Structure 1
Amino acid sequence: MRTRPTSAGGGGGGNARPVAVGAAWSRVRGLWEARRVFRLLVVRDLKVRYAGSALGWLWSVLDPLLMAAVYWFVFTVVLDQSLGLSPYIVFLLAALLPWTWFNGAVTDTARALRVDEKLVRSTNVHREVWVLRLVASKGIEYLCSLPVLALFAVLYQAELHWQVVLLPLAFVLQCTLLAGIGLLLAPLVVLVRDLERVVRIVLRLWFYVTPVIYGSVDIPEAYQAVFALNPLTGIFSLYRGTFFPGEVDWALVGISAVESLAVLLIGWAVFARLERTVLKEI
């Protein structure tokens, strides 16, 4: 007795997963091969950003410092509110500095393909590099601003705890989240120009629903489940754990890790799907 041959549809479905995995691995390998170009673009971004400025790199320190001074004055001097933990300026900076990185990276990566559209179209560099290099350059600016936090920690005699070893974990999680958001938004902004303005509005709202000027203990119990869905809540708890170990909540960190990875996978899939369409538009 002859067996019925497998239908073409069934065979195609079985091969779909290996093809998808192969395509994904090809992109990862391509990014690794482009690491030299990636490094050059990051250095170029950092040089161009402060070119012609009298203070240069100092702005990466002064900007968050002035912002922190405003919030410190408003909440501790004018309003006399007991938000967060003491010393409040250290508590504030521990989350405000990574927020500055997050805000700047999302804003820049969202318009990465549109701003450099000629280079994106004419060069043979993997297009993801144009997005990811902005996450890296903004991350370097964040690292350069850490002496500000260290200075105030010394001035206010904030105690350093062993949770400082968790800073690399927080850094990696934030990089993962930002890479996913950037890869998701960059092609969409090219196709829908108004989305860039929407991103700015969302970031303003996102700031106030993220524990930056307040702590997780200041969140009303009725809203804690909602705030837990914010991936930055768990990530920022790791940053603050350096000086305030009670802020670290591993349940929130776990949620942040899962969400960051999910956003990266979704962002990468959307970018790969829309890449050809974007190249026709720019």
Structure 2
Amino acid sequence: MVGTAYDSGALFAVLLAKELKAKYKNTVLGYVWSLLMPLFQSLVFFVVFSLFLRFPIEDYFLFLSIGFVVWQFFSNSLTQGANVLLANANLIRKTCAPRLIFVAASVGAEAVHLLISLPVLLILMLWCGRVPGWLALGLLPAGIVSVLLMAFGLALIVAVINTYFRDLERIMQILLQVWFYVTPIFYSTEQIPAEYRPLLLLNPVFFPVELLRCCFYAPQPAWLYCLAALALGGMIAAVGMVIFRRFQDDLAEVL
């Protein structure tokens, strides 16, 4: 058992390094793109909705950046997770390595980019004159863990589905676009009519986005968001693992 755990850990490290190298291979800026992309997206939405449409949101660029950092991690994790088994088909067919590790490494690579983005959010927060509260920042790990669990659980599910149903990759592009617009990334919950706000509770990404905004945008102890995000993240991860383990023994043959 010890040897198996060691081998699994070593394989995870190798796959994680592979994912990180492959993502920005032959690029000049490399990992800097993981910081620039959400900032560029925030800048575009800032110009359109703050300067042209006049959204009444204070420090709108900071508000946007927090949402885009979370969304980029979540959407990239699902997109990469859907293809990770197909991309490693030869290795999966030739080895008895735990299939779950391939998905974990894929999500882990995106998690590295998420963690790199956090200091940038802190700098933007200070630049806007907002002082981080220790109690609010103490909830930051809960926000990170919750979105990690959600992304990992859903990545496991889409990885299995895409192995059997290859059209999922294209369907996901549409679904993620719709998901983006129904998540308060570039608008606040207060701009949603009161009668529709309860529907946000059905959106798992809503909780980590709001939780990180409680840390970096409007520092406050959001214990309700914290508990809801962790509970929902744990549930999604558990469901994803059950589904993945149900089909993992047949993956080599299907691939």
Q: Is TM-score (shorter-chain normalized) higher than 0.5?
A: yes
Matched residue type, 2:28? A
Tell me if structure 2 keeps the 8 A contact 1:234–1:256: yes
What is the distance in 2 between the residues matched to 1:175 and 1:153? 23
Matched residue type, 1:236? V
Q: How far apart are 1:65 and its partner, in Å?
A: 1.2
Q: How far apart are 1:138 and its partner, in Å?
A: 0.2
2:91 corresponds to which residue? 119
2:141 corresponds to which residue? 168
Q: How far apart are 1:97 and its partner, in Å?
A: 0.6
Task: Tell me: CA distance 1:197–1:51, structure 2 relative to 1, closer, same or farther (3 Å).
Answer: same
The correspondence of residues 35-54 of structure 1 with structure 2, limited to 5 A, is 35-54=9-28
Aligned: 1:56 with 2:30: yes
Matching residue within 48, 54, 66 for 1:74: 48
What is the distance in 2 between the residues matched to 1:154 and 1:262? 35
What is the distance in 2 between the residues matched to 1:104 and 1:138? 7
Instruction: Give the stretch that moved more between structures: 177-186 or 244-253.
Output: 244-253
1:217 corresponds to which residue? 190
Gaps in structure 1 of 5+ consecutive residues = 1-25
1:12 corresponds to which residue? none
Task: Tell me: CA distance 1:151–1:182, structure 2 relative to 1, closer, same or farther (3 Å).
Answer: same
Tell me if structure 1 keeps the 8 A contact 2:142–2:226: no
What is the distance in 1 between the residues matched to 2:164 and 2:253? 10
What percent of counterpart residues are identical?
28
Tell me if structure 2 keeps the 8 A contact 1:180–1:264: yes
Q: How far apart are 1:160 and its partner, in Å?
A: 1.5
Matched residue type, 2:238? L
Tell me if structure 1 keeps the 8 A contact 2:121–2:216: no
Q: How far apart are 1:277 and its partner, in Å?
A: 2.7
Q: How far apart are 1:249 and its partner, in Å?
A: 4.7
What is the distance in 1 between the residues matched to 2:169 and 2:46? 30
Question: Structure 1 length normalisation: TM-score?
Answer: 0.83
SS at match of 1:211: coil
1:264 corresponds to which residue? 237
Tell me if structure 1 keeps the 8 A contact 2:154–2:236: yes
State the Cα deviation string for residues 105-164 of structure 1 (Å, max 9, x = none): 110001111121111211232100000111111010111223332332233222212201
The correspondence of residues 165-204 of structure 1 with structure 2, limited to 5 A, is 165-204=138-177
1:11 corresponds to which residue? none
State the Cα deviation string for residues 248-271 of structure 1 (Å, max 9, x = none): 654444333332222212111111
State the Cα deviation string for residues 158-198 of structure 1 (Å, max 9, x = none): 22122011111111111111111011111110101111111
Matching residue within 114, 121, 124 for 1:152: 124
What is the distance in 2 between the residues matched to 1:30 and 1:77? 57
State the Cα deviation string for residues 3-56 of structure 1 (Å, max 9, x = none): xxxxxxxxxxxxxxxxxxxxxxx9xx9667511211121112112222211111
What is the distance in 2 between the residues matched to 1:31 and 1:265? 20
Matched residue type, 2:90? K
Q: Count the aligned residue pairs.
A: 253
What is the distance in 2 between the residues matched to 1:198 and 1:108? 14
What is the distance in 2 between the residues matched to 1:232 and 1:64? 16
Tell me if structure 1 keeps the 8 A contact 2:139–2:226: no
2:200 corresponds to which residue? 227
Tell me if structure 1 keeps the 8 A contact 2:73–2:111: yes
Q: How far apart are 1:99 and its partner, in Å?
A: 0.9
Task: Tell me: CA distance 1:145–1:243, structure 2 relative to 1, closer, same or farther (3 Å).
Answer: closer
Higher CA-based Rg: 1
Aligned: 1:103 with 2:75: yes
What is the distance in 2 between the residues matched to 1:166 and 1:65? 23
SS at match of 1:198: helix
Question: Structure 2 length normalisation: TM-score?
Answer: 0.91
> Taking CA–CA contacts closer than 8 Å with sequence separation of 6 or more, which of the two structures ends up with the larger relative contact order?
2
